[in-house]
Amino acid sequence: MNKTFTGLLDNVKEATAAMASSSGKLGTASLSQPSSAPVPHSIRQQISVTWDFPVVFTHDLFSADNPVLVDTLNRLQDQKKHRAMVFIDSFVAKNRPELLKTVPAYFETHSETLELAAPPQIVTGGEAAKNNFSLIEGFMHLLLEKRMDRHSFVIIVGGGAVMDSVGLAAALVHRGLRQVRVPTTVLGQNDAGVGVKNGVNFAGGKNAIGTFAPPFAVLNDFNFLLSLNDRDWLCGVAEAFKVAIIRDRIFFDWLLEHAKNFPERDLESMRLLVERCAEIHIEHIRTTGDPFEYGRARPLDFGHWSAHKLELMSGFAISHGEAVASGVLVDSIYAQMQGWISEAELAQIETGLKESGFRLWFEELDQRDSNGVRVIFGGLRDFQEHLGGELCVTYPTRIGARHEVHEIDLIKMETAFQELRRVVLE
């Protein structure tokens, strides 16, 4: 037997014998029942984590002579060669089939520092990517099969739904692989792609499960926007109006001035919209002190309580951007009814959304339950549950300013929906 261990046993025996002789016998009560209650004791700790990720705006990202991607992957200079897997949205692959060649060619050109672990993977695009958890499981199996480690990169090329589904898988494998997002839609480039969270739909809930997982980098390639259909081209414009109404009067005025340019697919106007909207979102995440939304408020979700519910009610036939545009207008009508914004400001919001080309009324908004209550009002309950039991909805107090509201007058909100129907359809 190990001498050290033998000596330890001898010490224990001697101590036990001493205790027995001093008390007459070794009583169990003296060990299990202390004479006084123990003093509560706790160890408190506070951990600060710094997240550092660039958001880069470029053109033709996978062109062999564009250094943005290789420089981004090498920016920490923590190893000589980086392994990566590339996942491409099926809609993007259909519109840009050359990517299946240009992506491997890019890695071959920079083979001294980059290695493609597998051919580019085509991923089901659209909301379907978020509705089937078996897809996420498949991504995780693939990442493990290819032995992707915490220094490997998962490059996600696609819209918000694909970034959510692949991003969730990457966040779970080895507790987090390095994600590089390459958003290919306006909504992805100016909103979803520059944030720090991902989520997928589950058990009938929009984004019911997910993680907060800041990306390693976000690379916005404006060339991808050129291949969008008209509907997807406009979707991100709704998010721009949303954030401008509650945070930036100057940006709102610019949106009004350029609203007619968006349905005409003016790339320069869209480029400026994307950059400013992304900047506001990044500033909010960086400066509010609550990037992971531990608090009660979701201050960038103005107009979203009804938007999320409307998407679900339509089986996602109504896109997120379309639902947000409608939600922003009905909440603006409610805000004017409460005296938080003026009639002139409401008229500007209505004009801007209409001139941007949005359809703002949907038949689903008129659906009622057996008690005659609008089904869309269930979105308020969903919002309340998501925030931990206390309702907290953001509303403008004037264009460019906001406050949080904890109660909604459903009678006035009913009137707001009636007014929305009137101003859109009559």
* Same domain membership, residue 200 and residue 145: yes
Which CATH number covers residue 166? 3.40.50.1970
Residue 301 covered by a domain:
yes
Domain count, the chain: 2
Q: Side-chain half-sphere of 354: how many Cα atoms within 13 Å?
A: 11
Q: Side-chain half-sphere of 109: how many Cα atoms within 13 Å?
A: 14
**Residue at a domain's end among 198, 227, 256:** 227
Mention every residue, 6+ apart, whose C-beta is less than 8 A from residue 12.
none
CA distance 136 to 158: 15
The residues that bridge with 182 in the sheet, in sequence order, are: 157
Return phi, psi of residue 319, to 5°. Answer: -75, 165
Q: What is the DSSP string of 164-216?
A: HHHHHHHHHGGG-PEEEEEE-SHHHHHTGGGSSEEEEEETTEEEEEEEE---S
Mention every residue, 6+ apart, whose C-beta is less than 8 A from residue 254.
272, 276
**Residue at a domain's end among 175, 205, 227:** 227
Q: Is the dihedral of CA 269, 272, 275, 279 positive or negative?
A: negative
Domain hosting residue 265, numbered range:
230-425
Residue 266 covered by a domain:
yes
Which CATH number covers residue 261? 1.20.1090.10
**What is the DSSP secondary structure assignment for residue 135, as one 8-state letter?**
H
* Same domain membership, residue 421 and residue 362: yes
What's the confidence (pLDDT) of residue 195?
82
Q: Could you list the mean pLDDT of each consecutive 10-residue stretch along the chain, which spans 426 residues? A: 46 49 46 67 85 92 96 89 96 95 97 96 90 92 96 95 94 94 94 84 81 92 94 93 96 98 96 95 76 60 93 93 96 98 98 97 96 95 71 93 93 97 93
* Same domain membership, residue 234 and residue 218: no
CA distance 192 to 163: 8
* Same domain membership, residue 328 and residue 374: yes
**Residue at a domain's end among 194, 227, 260:** 227
Q: What is the DSSP string of 256-321?
A: HHHGGGTTTT-HHHHHHHHHHHHHHHHHHHHHSS-TT--SS--TT-TTHHHHHHHHHHTTT-S-HH
What's the confidence (pLDDT) of residue 386?
57
Predicted TM-score (pTM) of the model is 0.81
Q: What is the DSSP string of 318-350?
A: S-HHHHHHHHHHHHHHHHHHTTSS-HHHHHHHH
What's the confidence (pLDDT) of residue 19?
46
CA distance 419 to 422: 5
CA distance 80 to 278: 32
